[in-house]
A and B are shown apart, each in its own frame.
Chain A
């Protein structure tokens, strides 16, 4: 038997048939359906007169366009309301389970899939959303697809796919205080670049993984796409199993035992070979922030804005110049002196309970700076309720944050949560692209703890300084 990687194992277990051109027809176990990428897929299905092949394999929820406040009122008549209504109708007509906005299970697809146990190790999971790689944290083969591919999954429960190359990222060492998994993934993207993972399925491994919670692993896998890779994976282990046990859609009883027996066969064989290996000493990392308009444009918080004139690659230099113009930053400026207007804590990257705990720990007994408007958008209603049970909402509110309902919110700015032109935001989301948080809005990506530090300081700030001050008090 040749030595296989986790990715190889899940892939070959799902090949329905190989094609002569090297592609394979891959079976898809789970499909998360949201309002933005699905209407055209359902319209295509209806035009063909084809029914959904396996309605129970799909789960629909509106997350991108929904408001995060005043949920008890009817949605105002708008394009967003029309889009949510269309999802409700499509789910009904195709007999697909739909989770309403006011349901206790509502949330961002990539938060609720795991919460419900819809996400399982060894499964293939797709969604018309690039951050579907999040689910790879459970040892699932999960990737984002376009609407036409969503239509294909609805109609056939399969996708024609080409196998990717294999990359292993070894995270070694233990992070220092104030450094989290967001800093690890930002450092990796800075290292390999936003195109560095194109064509690869990344498996995250190494000594630092064992100590990462499922929430942290989800943050890690979530941003694989920001390195260009559609797929990020972590091998399932006891942390994974403990997290999944008892989830509403997770297997139970004898099924659980059978599933566990299979899941334990999934980790990469010791002699398996990867096409590329990258290793990162996470013990040497400092908290990081982005300064430009791609996620690779990030540096330690104690750094300065880089100088494009010192960049040898002409394409990269032009990119940096454009980024700095857009971001309104000058080369040499200290990052920890950049003033901010807004703070956003949330998203499929950092909208989970652990993220909110980390931010709240910094905010206890402190106030948001007067020049800053800050919101927290829990990734799901479940996260929101758990946080409220722990009193985190009171910490956020006392600090001056708005406490909102679940959704994608200011990560994608499709609802009313967006930056005004020229506003600068400390954000726990995943993309600092031009216009991502609203036309001409300026985004700095960072961890939840760093976003909390920025909120208090009114500027990008080093959370390590805040923590040490608190411990002296």
Chain B
């Protein structure tokens, strides 16, 4: 996984609440077997609905945005990791929102994408700044969003997740390297106390 330290980019404003993962990545493209190349279907319906103004990610300079600023409960709904793969494939490395769907939030960290959760007031200032098209800086080391006018907005993130993102550390590798002994111990303890939990398909 690519280590994440700092991103400087225009930020695409998407001021809508409850953007679900069906909107981010419609279900009919879930038939694809590979996690690569999915950016082509990101927000598929929105980018091709032909109604009114073109979708933000189709409009320069936002078509090259590495930051997406969205409304609350972004990524709610389905667990499809394709939503994150598609965002990452498009080039998005950071999503800023007041809140996230929980499964989407967890999926981000496994793909080098940083979800930044912020209260309504600072989130609103970032949204306003994003709309100007001026670059915004996100620094994971100092846990700050720097706006074009120089204001620094701090954000919270779980320390373990921050460390893993910054190191580009793969969680499965880490568990296989460090925790297999503990897993084995747990399994033998469990076999002794709750043997009935061992599944048997007849």
Q: Is the CB of A149 within 8 A of B110?
A: yes
Instruction: Indicate if B167 sits at the interface (CB-CB under 8 A).
Output: no
Taken together as a complex, chains A and B put the C-alpha atoms of A184 and B184 apart, in Å, by 43
Q: Are B34 and A130 in contact (CB under 8 A)?
A: no
- B183 and A436 within 8 A (CB): no
Among A39, A130, A228, A229, the residue within 8 A (CB) of B79 is A130
Q: Which residues of B contact A19 (CB under 8 A)?
A: 160
- Closest partner residue, chain B, to A152 (CB atom): B172
**Contact between A80 and B18 (Cβ–Cβ < 8 Å)?**
no
Interface presence of A361 (CB below 8 A): no
Q: Kindly state whether residue B150 has any CB partner on chain A within 8 Å.
A: no
B200 and A433 contact, CB distance less than 8 A: no
Q: How far is the CA of A37 from the CA of B81 in the complex (A)?
A: 8
> A434 to B77, alpha carbons, bound, how many Å?
12
Q: Does B78 contact A (CB under 8 A)?
A: yes
Which one of B4-12, B61-69, B97-105, B134-142 is at the interface? B97-105
Q: Are B106's CB and A435's CB within 8 A? A: no
Q: Smallest distance from the beta carbon of A140 to chain B beta carbons, Å?
A: 11
Nearest CB of B to A441, in Å: 11
The 8 Å CB contact of A155, one of B100, B176, B186, B199, is B176
Interface residues of B in 168-189 (CB under 8 A from A): 171-173, 175-176, 179-180, 182-183, 186-187
Binary contact readout A77-105 vs B (1 if CB under 8 angstroms, 0 otherwise): 00110110010000000000100000000
Within 8 Å of chain B (Cβ to Cβ): is A412?
A: yes
Answer whether A258 and B27 are a contact pair too, CB < 8 Å, given A25-B179, A79-B32, A195-B18.
no
Q: Is A315 an interface residue (CB 8 A)?
A: yes
Q: Does B158 contact A (CB under 8 A)?
A: yes
Complex: A32 Cα to B23 Cα, angstroms = 25
Closest to B23 in A: A434
Asked if B103 and A157 make an inter-chain contact with CB atoms under 8 angstroms apart, the answer reads no
Residue numbers in B under 8 Å from A433 (CB-CB) = 20, 22-23, 77
Contact (Cβ within 8 A) B172 A48: yes
Beyond A22-B158, A315-B17, A316-B17, whether A259 also contacts B73 by CB under 8 A is no
Interface hit among A57-65, A347-355, A371-379, A465-473: A57-65
A1-24: which residues lie under 8 A (CB-CB) from chain B? Answer: 16-17, 19-23
- Cβ A249 vs Cβ B202 within 8 A: yes
Contact among B22, B79, B80 with A434 in the assembled complex (CB-CB below 8 Å) = B22
Query: Are B102 and A199 in contact, with the CB atoms below 8 A?
Result: yes
Q: Evaluate contact between B106 and A198: CB separation under 8 angstroms.
A: no
Q: Which residue of B lies closest to A438 (CB)?
A: B28
Inter-chain contact B22/A147, CB cutoff 8 Å: no
**A86 / chain B contacts, CB cutoff of 8 Å:** 33
Asked if B126 is at the interface of the complex by the 8 Å CB criterion, the answer is no
Q: What residue in chain A is nearest B180 (Cβ atoms)?
A: A156
Q: Point out the residue from B31, B45, B161, B187 that lies within 8 Å of A80, measured CB to CB.
A: B31
Instruction: Using CB atoms and an 8 Å cutoff, list the residues of chain A in contact with chain B.
Output: 16-17, 19-23, 25, 27, 29-30, 36-37, 39-40, 43-44, 48, 50, 53, 56-57, 59, 64-65, 79-80, 82-83, 86, 97, 116, 118, 120, 122-123, 128-130, 144-149, 151-152, 155-158, 160, 162, 194-195, 198-199, 225, 228-230, 248-249, 251, 255-256, 258-259, 262, 294, 315-316, 318-319, 322, 412-414, 431, 433-436, 439-440
Nearest first, the 4 closest Cβ-Cβ pairs linking A and B are A21-B160, A146-B81, A79-B31, A251-B196
Q: List 29 A-B contacts (CB under 8 A).
A: A16-B179, A17-B179, A21-B161, A21-B163, A25-B182, A53-B183, A97-B201, A130-B78, A146-B110, A148-B81, A148-B107, A149-B107, A149-B110, A156-B180, A158-B179, A195-B72, A225-B77, A228-B76, A228-B101, A230-B102, A251-B196, A258-B194, A258-B195, A258-B196, A259-B197, A414-B27, A414-B31, A435-B22, A435-B26
